[in-house]
A = this chain, B = another copy of it.
């Protein structure tokens, strides 16, 4: 067992609230784990993207358009948390390369609704397959209780406004 030295004191307070006592060392290990894991997490997609001459920003755009087809530029901006100039550069190449289609909004003609084309869907799949495989492998090694805990801690680590985005997408899922 790899993690067996992470021993945390837990104490039951009178109110029934569970308290955690964490050493600096334990927290620093968590920080490093996050750093190394995120690198592993992006390594496979990065290799694929490089093959096609794209970067991580393209991946993010493809991912969230795939997740919410017809989403607007503004919505994408608030999810990705970048400036419109930064997003636009990425979006423009994706549209030029016919991976993304931008349709003028029906209700509000100022808006653009973004969709993946057939090629876009294919690339998104290739990227997603690689990343999901890494995630699946990690989940398998760690076991179901670990996965539950993993997700719980990650959600608590997000900024509050990002939790909102995360929650909103959860509600609109169809599985």
Binding site for B on A (CB under 8 A): 2-3, 5-6, 8, 10, 18, 20, 22-41, 43, 60, 63, 67, 81, 128, 131-132, 134-159, 162-163, 165-167, 169-170, 173-175
Copies in the complex: 2
Contacts known (A6-B147, A25-B173, A32-B166); A154 close to B37, Cβ less than 8 A = yes
Q: How far is the CA of A38 from the CA of B135 in the complex (A)?
A: 15
Are A144 and B36 interface neighbours, CB within 8 A?
no
CB distance from A49 to the nearest CB of B (A): 15
CB-defined contacts of A163 to chain B, threshold 8 Å: 36
A168 to B37, CA, bound (A): 16
Residues of chain B lying within 8 A (CB to CB) of residue A158:
33, 36-37, 39-40
CA distance A112 to B37 in the complex (A): 28
Residues of B near A32 (CB, < 8 A) are 63, 67, 166, 169
B8 touches A147 (CB 8 A): yes
- A132 vs B141: C-alpha distance when bound (angstroms): 27
- Taken together as a complex, chains A and B put the C-alpha atoms of A146 and B18 apart, in Å, by 13
Cα(A155)–Cα(B39), bound, Å: 11
CA distance A63 to B150 in the complex (A): 24
* Minimum C-beta distance from A142 to chain B (A): 4
A134:B157 contact, CB within 8 angstroms: yes
**Complex formed: what's the CA distance from A67 to B72 in Å?**
44
A136 adjacent to B27 (CB under 8 Å): yes
